[in-house]
Structure 1
Amino acid sequence: MRRPRRHALALALSLAAIGAVEAAETAVPTGPLPRTVVPTLVQLELKIDPKQAGFSGVTRIQADIAEATDTVWMHGRGLKIAKASATVGKRTIPLTASEADPSGVLRLVSATPLPAGKASFDIAFEAPYGQLQGAYKVSPDGRAYVMTQMEPLGARTAFPGFDEPSFKQPWDITLIVPQDATAVANTLEGTATPLAGGWKKVTFARTPALPSYLVAFAVGPWEIVDGPAIAPNGPRTAPIRLRGVAAAGQGSKMKYTLANTPAIVTALEDYFGSPYPFDKLDNLAAPDFWAGAMENPGLIAYRDSLMFPDETSAVGRRQSFWGTSAHELAHQWFGDLVTMKWWDDLWLNEGFATWMGNKIHGQLQPQAHTDRGLLEGAIGAMGADSLASTRRIHEAIRDYRDIESAFDGITYQKGGATLAMFERYIGEDKFRDGIRNYLSTHARGNATSADLIAALAAQSDDPEGVSKAFFSFIDQPGVPYLAVDVDCSGKVPALSITQQRYRPIGSTAGADGSWGVPMTIRYADGTTVREQKALVHDRQARVELTQATRCPTWVMPNGYGAGYYRFALVPKWQAALNTAFASLDEREQRMAADSIVAAYGAGSLKPADLLAALPRFASAEVRQTATAGMGATGWMSEYLVADHKARDAFHAKVAAIYRPRLDALGLAPKAGEPDDDALLRSSLVQLFAIRLKDAKVRAELGRLGRQVLGLDGDGQLHADAAPRDLRDTALVVALQEGGVPAFDAAEKHFRASQDAVTRSELLSAMGATGAPALDERARALVFEQGLLRRNEIFPVIGGQAANPAGRAALRGWIDSHFADLEARLAPAGAALVGMYAAGMCSEAEAAELEAKFSPRMANVEGGPREIEQTVEGIRLCAAQVQARKGLPLDIARR
């Protein structure tokens, strides 16, 4: 009896094993594709007429087949495959194509196995235009233009292929377009051959090895303007052709940005010690674009407002050009020349470009103080990184829904701040040498976090320790929180340091966690300020201040604000640091302010304690420190103040803190004033005019806004009637005060304008009136055919989310139109969660949002994480309210 059973069991196990193998072979790869077939060259021919509803094309992919297979996995989403075949030797084998997964996995099946070796795949297809992704159409002036946004998953909607970063090969791009159309792509144009029927065939030089998400082209009545050639530099002996590409009639607006692009390229070449990696550079000013910009090699796409500033533009606009362009050009090396292998290493692209872009921008424009901006971004990222549901810098990407979630502050700002922190610890020159070695080793290929960290750590005095520390920051979530005391009982003063994870009130995150923290410690040794570096790995550590000759007067545990960590000094030493506030470096002042705000968030300080610190911050020279904690007063006003009378009294107290700074600046810009003065004035004016409802400031801003709208004169738009840095706030006040006539005027000017900045400012004001009837009119603009660009949807409804009285109507509108809105906003539809949740701050609202939006977000790119983090944020808000209910909001100078 036992023997047959053993035979039966063996047969069952055998069949199960065969079934498992077959299942593995047929399972749809929703993550990285198998390496059974690897492309070596893609020849892409597309026939595009922007006036038509879609386009067609043929993709020929030369590839290596590692082992015989009857199934080839590629990507293609929403494509109509007319014909697919594989050619092996002289044999052409038909393939049956089908879309196997909502993410756009394409299954190609052969009736007989394709043998190992060389092969080519030919796929003829038709495709619709996308919605701000893939190949899509824009019509800013009534004429149709086609452009592309392939990252992260747009390429698979434009053509079939291997749409992931690890597949990196050259591309031959050919565009068949109407005779009168302009066509551009990643590389220099080759030939333009007339064809029958009013078409022409435009070929382009073969690209270097690129992943599909960096393929770019544009077709239509684009205007091309020449910029100055980028002169030879270092090992690059030939000039680089530089051009601007804009909608018809808009090219002249690119004079400033084209004139200043060469300096950025040259500075990056000098840093990297290697030439710009591509054969030309076109800057495309996109009339409708979700992102700020996209680093397509040789054809960088920017939101058009970033390409159109000049010397007289608002400070923020000019700085946005410099910062964004430096970021995208840094990508030409980090991301384009060397590419991540998979999306879990997106920070290698974006964190690096954030850090590098700030470095080059600051080098070329010292008045921008970009080191302060990088620090401010890091502090902002700490907010998201304080969530239990936060992601790691190096986060596993399970399927297509996770990729969009990776484009966040953790990747960009935390990634950039981590690089800056280790640069400070290793040393600027050694760090640069590590970067150069990394690029040289992996040029034209792919690399991982481990590759970069190894190259940087090798330049340090402690490669093993630095490597371990670096991984501790990218491979675990959360913000290190260092409790610091000073021990002067021995011969040498020392810091006693205890690590844990920073947790706000109500957090469900565990306190465990230890990092290899590269600290820069600054302290006062008598009249001398000394500094010391330390790499602290243990949860509890003792760091001796080896240069000290006595007990310090004060200690700053995050010297120069260089570290991505928060600290809490024991009360005695916190008081000492507060007393020495004016003696601190400007970045240290900002981190000292953050330590107070963080202690408040963690429940260590009461509201009155935070409010008492604000006057000290407000008097700081640096605007980011002057405004630190300002946002907390807004939160207190909405959630801790009982009624309108109490709110007015609270606002008066807040105004008293910041009025001296505003009075010193004045409401009118001063000739030759620092850029930071203009930006600080803008922040303070917005505080007084919009949140605090200060009568004097509102009167002046309303007057300026009415002049812009022409309400007191000829009815024409006079954009320069208000200072450019204040115009957006002036328009909001004018519409809030002016009712229907002001709204009518703003709408008239909006409909007549094609200027992206003017349109955005008018829309934002129209959406922020606070009047229910006008809110409804503003929302109606979203669905008026052909009126709004898709990146204008959020400006027109964003102000309504900020108005507590208007949120219910906005939520009802989102509920009624959710499917249409999500489709129009794709792939950014997850942003609807935050819009809907604005102002929610209770357990009941968290549960309601989770129940309603979890099904809606289930298959939306970035949706699952967005709903998880938004719900957690609401619950943390509720916990903050519960912990502080009834506490006094006294503001006293201490």
Structure 2
Amino acid sequence: MRKPLVSAIALAFAVSAGGVLAMPAQPAATESSLAPTQLPRSVRPTHYDVSIVPHADKLDFDGKVTVDVEVLKPTTSITLNALGMTFSAVTLAPAAGKGGTATAKVTLDEKAQTATFTFAKAIAPGRYRLAMDYVGTIGTQANGLFAIDYPTDAGQKRALYTQFENSDARRFIPSWDEPAYKATFDLSVTVPAGEMAVSNMPVASKVDAGHGLEKVTFRTTPKMSTYLLFFGLGDFDRATTSSDGTEIGVVMQKGKAAQAKFALDSAKAVLHDYNEYFGIKYPLPKLDNIAAPGSSQFFSAMENWGAIFTFEYAMLLDPSISTQGDKMEVFGTAAHEMAHQWFGDLVTMNWWDNLWLNEGFASWMAERETEKRHPEWNTVLDTVGVREGAMSRDAVATTHPIVQKIDTVEQASQAFDTITYSKGEAVIRMLEAYVGPEAWRQGVHNYLKAHAYGNTVSDDLWHAMDGVAGGKPITQVAHDFTLQPGVPLIKVDSAVCNGGQTTVKLTQGEFTKDRPGKQPLRWHVPVIAGTLGSQPVSALVDGQATMKLPGCGPVLVNAGQSGYYRTLYAPAQLAALKQDFGKLAPIDQLGLMSDSWAEGMAGLQPVSDYLDMARATPANAAPEIWAEVAGSLAGLDEYYRGDEARQQRFRAYATGLLEPVFARVGWEAKPGESTSTTLLRTQLIGTLARLGDRNVLDEVRRRYDAQATDPKAVPAALRKTILAIVAQHADAATWDKLHAQAQAEKSPMIKDRLYRLLAVAEDKALARRALDLALTPEPGATNSAGMIASVAWRHPEMAYDFAMAHRAQVDKLVDSTSSSRFYPALGGSSFDPAMIGKIQAYEATIAPGARRPAETVIANIKYRMMVRKDRLPAVDAWLAKHGG
């Protein structure tokens, strides 16, 4: 499942080496290989035969399922997962057909999300068929079987889809809804004859069922976990191609096939590359990508085996509004979800504590594939931002290890976070660099081959890597980074050059944002370092280390930025790097700036170090460097919110620094310009507008007003940016105009975006109107929660209080597994100490095991308050010195 990644700035608002032990030894971390379960272990399924009759108009469905089960020890009852359904009949019969059929008494436990079937006599060990007739519900949020209504030129349409990860197959089929209970599935659906039904496997048969209905039966799936089953139904088109003998399809609403071409072409290329890289051919006969209108607060796509579900905004490209950034997102989403077909679907984690085996690997593989297929996008530089996002989250007290303890369904839902995705990806990137790309690839192949159609824990992967790592202690390093939380800090204590060789002394600590006196944890850290212009060398740093580097000159630690750690240079070392900043590779420039920003905000070095680097950024620096500077300045501007005099002084300096850069980039794309420049253009326009740059604001308004008579005034590449700025600065008349435009729009993807833009207004009265609108049916059931969250970015107190005051209504607009994250996040951009108390009051209403997201929001509010109090005076002093 793919989830958006945010920058470190936003979150802060978010070969010769000898190791010397300098800290007391700590016990080696280990993990258990026994899969947890919330169900009795006495019965397990092997095959499901499912028949569904959906009633889309009534938002319910009839279900029949017969499950082949193995009873492992004598029992009088069978307990499985079921939620939101009622049973009319449950029977158990021997699989061999000999013996009578037993009827069950049904007991439902909605809190535990289980159904228990109790029989009059004990069931002996053996094979049986458990048959259940039941009625389930069709929801309006992306949990279980759900409906999405969307506009078309022919009127409103309703489509049905399923979303089961992490634990919502139990809303569709009474089942052993845990990843370790793998089984095969036969699915039949009785549906309107004019609509298209889609599932994991190709259609095996269609039979007229009378009354305008037909029964569609799909081929048997491979052995897989329940959360990977998929069913979709609607007025669809399907475009196809093929790759290595596999049929690839994109399924979308009728008339949108042209918008799916890039996704289809990308899937063809990616599937071929993955077949080659993994050394195991994709095993299903087809791979569909299903594009759905709407959205979720939780995810954008889901890796159902053979039937990837993706919301339209992350798959289709509308030429009237889609940007280069959207195109990159489409490719990245497809590459991520297709990587799951191996990492997650073919081989699945035993339990949700090892979710990173799915998500971290899919994120890493997608980045690798993007770099291969689209080097012109220069996405290798994005890996620094991914790592920074993880470190920002990982540096507060409420962080958790990559491999974490999961006890409940809600905790499993919360595991889909920055640590699982971004830290997982960053650690894999580091380990690949440590082991070597070819050895790593062989280890991945060995792991997948050994565990195909089965379940694993992380140690299964490390054991596979031990076999190819050439004696390197891969398990030790991996355990340090996956079984304990936190960010290592490598301090460059000294660097002395003698005889053409530089001796560097390093000390290991821990980087934190909120615990300056914390006793540091200990890692075995793969460090790559070198002097500028010389070949870097590597060492495994444990406590203290001395590295001998060829050449003399400034020392760069974490050369190439593959390591998951922060580097803290002594002042003389940092000064040397700043002086030769232009000689660093762009990825190392980003790494150095990111470390300086984070360490400056945490008080480990002067804030002025980062500001000096930003000010000295050369005009011809890579666009990504200027994007980093722009993002940092926008982040600092947020800290001044509410203090107009100081903010205006800061804005004068920030716009003065960025305006010449934008003048070179310009409003219009130039022939042959790089992708990075195209992306920088929209970022600079957005940042300068946010900083109140009058020239940009005036030009945005001019273009917006001129679009009726000048088709070129708002080109597709700038349409989203211009609309967002207009919406942010809207007055009542403009807001009404945007509202009317949203009401009239027939493209769901554009319509959804327009409603979201109604919620970004700086004007408090208009923001309140957006909140009120979100509680009506008008925006669409899957868009309303997003509108409330958008209001919260600029008006956190208003949005949070509103959501709490209307909690019963808002609950219906939020994915059921997301509420414990959704509500606290509304207050996340607040500087008001009272917000902490409000979130704590919310915490008291939820289970203790579900409180980590709220605690994380509180920790970041406290951090932001600290930055405002303790760091901004240094920024003010620097501005005074440099003409701000």
User: TM-score, normalising length from structure 2?
Assistant: 0.90
Alpha-carbon distance change, 656 to 205 in structure 1, aligned in 2, over 3 angstroms: same
CA distance in 2 between counterparts of 1:100 and 1:737 reads 50
Q: Which residue of 1 aligns with 2:315?
A: 307
Q: Which residue of 2 aligns with 1:866?
A: 853
CA distance in 2 between counterparts of 1:190 and 1:635 reads 55
Aligned partner of residue 824 in structure 1, secondary structure: coil
Q: Which residue of 2 aligns with 1:189?
A: 203
CA distance in 1 between counterparts of 2:319 and 2:443 reads 37
Shift of 1:629: 5.3
Counterparts of 1:617-636 in structure 2 under 5 Å? 617=617, 619=619, 621-628=621-628, 630-636=630-636
Which deviates more from structure 2 when the two are superposed, residues 387-396 or residues 79-88?
79-88
CA offsets, 1:398-439, max 9 Å, x none? 111211111011111110111111111111111111111111
Shift of 1:569: 1.1
CA distance in 2 between counterparts of 1:583 and 1:199 reads 69
Q: Which residue of 1 aligns with 2:134?
A: 125
* Structure 1 counterpart of 2:820, from 826, 830, 846: 830
CA offsets, 1:520-550, max 9 Å, x none? 11223xxx412111122x22222333xx2x5
Alpha-carbon distance change, 745 to 586 in structure 1, aligned in 2, over 3 angstroms: same
- Where in structure 1 are there 5+ consecutive unaligned residues? 1-28, 233-238
Shift of 1:298: 1.2
Aligned partner of residue 846 in structure 1, secondary structure: helix
Aligned partner of residue 592 in structure 1, secondary structure: helix
Counterparts of 1:225-624 in structure 2 under 5 Å? 225-230=238-243, 232=244, 239-290=245-296, 291-309=299-317, 313-463=322-472, 465-488=473-496, 493-504=502-513, 506-507=514-515, 510-524=518-532, 528-536=533-541, 538-545=542-549, 548=550, 552-617=552-617, 619=619, 621-624=621-624
Does residue 890 of structure 1 match 2:872?
no
Aligned partner of residue 628 in structure 2, secondary structure: coil
For the aligned residue pairs, the C-alpha RMSD in angstroms reads: 2.4
Which deviates more from structure 2 when the two are superposed, residues 724-733 or residues 275-284?
724-733
Aligned partner of residue 301 in structure 1, secondary structure: strand
Which deviates more from structure 2 when the two are superposed, residues 311-320 or residues 198-207?
311-320
Which deviates more from structure 2 when the two are superposed, residues 197-206 or residues 85-94?
85-94
Q: Is the 8 A contact 2:792 2:798 kept in 1?
A: no
Letter aligned with residue 132 of structure 2: I
Alpha-carbon distance change, 764 to 197 in structure 1, aligned in 2, over 3 angstroms: closer
Q: Which residue of 1 aligns with 2:765?
A: 773
Does residue 148 of structure 1 match 2:157?
no
Does residue 739 of structure 1 match 2:731?
yes
Shift of 1:635: 4.8
Q: Which residue of 1 aligns with 2:24?
A: none
Which deviates more from structure 2 when the two are superposed, residues 103-112 or residues 579-588?
103-112
* Structure 1 counterpart of 2:830, from 837, 840, 846: 840
Q: Which residue of 2 aligns with 1:753?
A: 745
Counterparts of 1:812-831 in structure 2 under 5 Å? 812-827=801-816, 828-831=818-821
Letter aligned with residue 861 of structure 2: I
Letter aligned with residue 290 of structure 2: L
CA distance in 2 between counterparts of 1:69 and 1:625 reads 65
Q: Which residue of 2 aligns with 1:802?
A: 793
Higher relative contact order (CA 8 A, sep 6+): 2
Q: Is the 8 A contact 2:640 2:646 kept in 1?
A: no
Shift of 1:701: 1.0
Shift of 1:468: 0.3
Q: Is the 8 A contact 1:86 1:122 kept in 2?
A: yes
CA distance in 2 between counterparts of 1:54 and 1:768 reads 36
What is the aligned-residue identity percentage?
27
CA distance in 1 between counterparts of 2:318 and 2:381 reads 24
CA distance in 1 between counterparts of 2:861 and 2:463 reads 40
Letter aligned with residue 175 of structure 2: G
Shift of 1:809: 3.1
Letter aligned with residue 238 of structure 2: V
CA distance in 1 between counterparts of 2:461 and 2:258 reads 41
Shift of 1:721: 4.1
CA distance in 2 between counterparts of 1:650 and 1:193 reads 70
Q: Which residue of 2 aligns with 1:875?
A: 862
CA offsets, 1:666-701, max 9 Å, x none? 122223321111111111111111x21111000111
Alpha-carbon distance change, 364 to 311 in structure 1, aligned in 2, over 3 angstroms: farther
Alpha-carbon distance change, 809 to 388 in structure 1, aligned in 2, over 3 angstroms: closer
CA offsets, 1:760-812, max 9 Å, x none? 44224322222233223222321222x22344235534443233xx4443233
Alpha-carbon distance change, 768 to 156 in structure 1, aligned in 2, over 3 angstroms: same
Aligned partner of residue 342 in structure 2, secondary structure: coil
Counterparts of 1:81-96 in structure 2 under 5 Å? 81-88=87-94, 89-96=98-105
User: TM-score, normalising length from structure 1?
Assistant: 0.89
Letter aligned with residue 705 of structure 1: Y
* Structure 2 counterpart of 1:224, from 237, 243, 249: 237
Letter aligned with residue 142 of structure 2: L
Q: Is the 8 A contact 1:425 1:520 kept in 2?
A: no
* Structure 2 counterpart of 1:138, from 132, 144, 148: 148
Alpha-carbon distance change, 759 to 856 in structure 1, aligned in 2, over 3 angstroms: farther
Q: Is the 8 A contact 2:239 2:250 kept in 1?
A: yes
Q: Which residue of 2 aligns with 1:855?
A: 844
Equivalent pairs, count? 834
CA distance in 2 between counterparts of 1:772 and 1:155 reads 41
CA offsets, 1:576-608, max 9 Å, x none? 121222222221111111121121122023444
Aligned partner of residue 300 in structure 1, secondary structure: strand
CA offsets, 1:738-768, max 9 Å, x none? 5233222211221122334422442243222
Q: Is the 8 A contact 2:828 2:860 kept in 1?
A: no
CA distance in 2 between counterparts of 1:377 and 1:134 reads 31
Which deviates more from structure 2 when the two are superposed, residues 573-582 or residues 351-360?
573-582
Q: Is the 8 A contact 1:289 1:303 kept in 2?
A: yes
CA distance in 1 between counterparts of 2:409 and 2:582 reads 49
Aligned partner of residue 563 in structure 1, secondary structure: coil
CA distance in 2 between counterparts of 1:692 and 1:748 reads 28
Does residue 783 of structure 1 match 2:814?
no
Shift of 1:452: 0.9
CA distance in 2 between counterparts of 1:820 and 1:79 reads 22
Q: Which residue of 1 aligns with 2:54?
A: 48
Q: Is the 8 A contact 2:363 2:425 kept in 1?
A: yes
CA offsets, 1:151-189, max 9 Å, x none? 111111111001011011111111112233321110010
Alpha-carbon distance change, 513 to 835 in structure 1, aligned in 2, over 3 angstroms: closer
Q: Is the 8 A contact 2:630 2:658 kept in 1?
A: no
Aligned partner of residue 733 in structure 1, secondary structure: helix
Letter aligned with residue 580 of structure 1: D
Q: Is the 8 A contact 1:617 1:628 kept in 2?
A: no
* Structure 1 counterpart of 2:73, from 67, 71, 74: 67
Q: Which residue of 1 aligns with 2:28?
A: none
Aligned partner of residue 450 in structure 2, secondary structure: helix
Letter aligned with residue 700 of structure 1: E
Shift of 1:707: 3.7
Q: Is the 8 A contact 1:503 1:509 kept in 2?
A: no
Q: Which residue of 2 aligns with 1:17?
A: none
